[in-house]
Amino acid sequence: DQQVKQNSPSLSVQEGRISILNCDYTNSMFDYFLWYKKYPAEGPTFLISISSIKDKNEDGRFTVFLNKSAKHLSLHIVPSQPGDSAVYFCAAINTNAGKSTFGDGTTLTVKP
């Protein structure tokens, strides 16, 4: 049972445009959500998070939206830059349990 799903394995966007990465989850016990960015040969790097009590969190060019009723979250990057090209993982946590459950990742390519 895949509790966190990222249905798009890849996304290609032109520099300066918006990148939208999507994530769906099934476990209603998840109450904290994170996006990590991963470059080849490096570990995941924390990008932005959102608590289930919010529906939006913004940090510079990055905004995460949470739709609890749809069990869906998305990461918006605007404007996209070539340096944003990486694999983006969505992760969900039940804060009573503690571990992170990761999605499969979406490879974002931002073209100059």
Q: Which residue has the tokens 């099934």?
A: 26
99 binds another protein (CB under 8 A): yes
Nearest distance from C-beta of residue 15 to another protein, angstroms: 27
60 binds another protein (CB under 8 A): no
Nearer to another protein, 4 or 110 (CB): 4
CB 92 within 8 A of CB 47: no
89 binds another protein (CB under 8 A): yes
Beta strands in 1-112, from DSSP E residues, in sequence order: 4-5, 10-14, 19-25, 32-38, 45-51, 56-59, 62-67, 72-77, 86-93, 100-102, 106-111
Nearer to another protein, 43 or 112 (CB): 43
Residues engaged in binding another protein (CB under 8 A):
32, 34, 36, 41-46, 49, 51, 89, 93, 95, 97-105
